[in-house]
Amino acid sequence: MTRIVIMGGGPAGYEAALVAAQHGADVTIVERDGLGGACVLYDCVPSKTFIASSGALAKMHDLGELGINTDMADTSIDLPTVHGRVKGLALAQSADIRARVQREGVRVIAGEARFCDEEPGLATHKVAVTTKDGTEKLPADVVLIATGATPRVLPGAVPDGERILDWRQLYELQELPEHLAVIGSGVTGAEFASAYTEMGVKVTVVSSRDRVLPHEDADAAAVLEEVFSQRGTTVAKQARADRVERTEKGVEIHLADGRVIEASHALMTVGSVPNTQDIGLDKVGIEPGPGGFITVDRVSRTSVPGIYAAGDCTGVLMLASVASMQGRIAMWHALGEGVAPIKLKTVAANVFTHPEIATVGISQQAIDSGEVPARTIMLPLATNARAKMEGLRRGFVKLFCRPATGVVVGGVVVAPTASELILPIALAVQNQLTVDHLALTFSVYPSLSGSITEAGRQLMRHDDLD
């Protein structure tokens, strides 16, 4: 029986454990904080639960148009209840995952793991597991490193849990910030800026680039900036934060160009660093790459036989869905099953702002630069019958296809439920379906998904000789 030790119980670790157990391996997961890892306990699940509360408020802004009278001035937020729900759901999800893996016969150890091979190059590896009761050494034929990542800390802006915060400390606040400065305009920064904006907090986004979401679709980012502007949120552009200082009233954000932004609280969203220190990589001959990330191939192998890595510690698209797939692929490969290497161009991703922004496949930027030839269509949601009924004026559906064959190669959706609407486009990209397939598929009328089939019809009508 193949002995497998998994270092970390996040999405990469527990999904890998389920696959390995179902294929008859002897599986042990070592996790310090709880099953589900940081994703479930501190990051993805808590943040999306918090965003769900702000989403309920977001829906209220346009209710007057639908004939429902509301007074936003009387709306109040019970922050301890919101935060209690966030923490409660995270713990419940972690417990569900633990129960599932234990039903499959996986051994779960609460502790910290590190390699303790006596010398690099051994066929069988050893993992030392430190728990409250002592240290145990586990022999392993296969080891999966799935240790995740933690929020990056700037030397001049070390979080104190009171005024200078990382995104894991927000849920300890007893009251909403009077003025929240969000340092960083990537996905995490944009999501929290959007959530607190909808909760009525004064928000300033500090972006080192010329727009929010610099790595996302530019048209989608423009929609979000329009919402921010309407809601009173300020975006400070080309503003690189040098340091954040505590003051009597709150914080001061000192920018590289000499500007100073005052706020009551600062939220640091400047990326993550991999948890690859102090896990004994030198004992097995693995040299971390740039930024401390572990280099892997498309089936999650490291440079050392028998050792795989998956999830945020590899720096490969730091998404829970990608981590899970990396972990599954690692186990399929290690146990001799047929497996297709991971295809990052088929990964669907979502930004949980209001509205949401979902993408899959080739980007608009790659098309505009000439890197990828494609035909494109962009349909505003304002022309969709269902959107009109619900009072939706912002958002769109984009679809990209190959010029000659019509094979769908990508798309973008900006809508309140973009995370759900992106699935048919992702299915098309994954399975190399054509715009004809989309065009000839029946969609419910009226529905927002009707814009996807309509985009297919408009691309299908295109003359390839034009």
The pair of three-digit structure tokens given for residue 28, joined into one six-digit string: 């042990």
Across 43-59, average pLDDT: 93
Nearest to 360 by CA among 211, 217, 186, 188: 217
pLDDT tier at 123, thresholds 50, 70, 90: confident
Does residue 463 register a pLDDT over 80?
no
The full DSSP string for 196-237 is: HHHTT-EEEEE-SSSSSSTTS-HHHHHHHHHHHHHHT-EEE-
Residue type, position 56, single letter: A
Q: Report the run of H or E that residue 4 belongs to, with start and end.
A: strand 3-7
Q: What is the dihedral of CA 386, 389, 394, 399, to 10 degrees?
A: 10
Scanning 270-351, the segments in alpha helix (DSSP H) are 281-284, 320-334
Q: How far apart are CA 149 and CA 146, in angstroms?
A: 9
Distance of CA 97 to the CA centre of its chain: 19
Distance of CA 237 to the CA centre of its chain: 23
Is 58 strand, coil or helix? helix
Q: Report the run of H or E that residue 255 belongs to, with start and end.
A: strand 251-255
Nearest to 410 by CA among 374, 461, 459: 374
Go through the chain and tell me how many residues it has.
466
Q: Helices 44-58 & 187-198, crossing angle to 10 degrees? A: 40
pLDDT in tens, 250-275: 999 999 999 999 999 999 999 999 99
pLDDT tier at 352, thresholds 50, 70, 90: very high
Nearest to 330 by CA among 348, 311, 312, 353: 311
Q: Are strands 241-246 and 348-351 parallel, antiparallel or unpaired?
A: unpaired
Does residue 466 register a pLDDT over 60?
no
State the pTM of this model: 0.95
pLDDT in tens, 416-452: 999 999 999 999 999 999 999 999 999 999 999 999 9
Side-chain half-sphere CA neighbours of 413 within 13 A: 26
Does residue 61 register a pLDDT over 80?
no
pLDDT in tens, 140-160: 999 999 999 999 999 999 999
Q: How far apart are CA 83 and CA 457, in angstroms?
A: 45
Scanning 253-375, the segments in alpha helix (DSSP H) are 281-284, 320-334, 364-368
Q: How far apart are CA 370 and CA 368, in angstroms?
A: 5
Q: CA of 88: how far to CAs of 165, 223, 317, 338, in Å?
A: 21, 33, 28, 39
Residue 290: Cβ within 10 Å count = 7
- Dihedral sign, Cα of residue 426, residue 310, residue 352, residue 32: positive
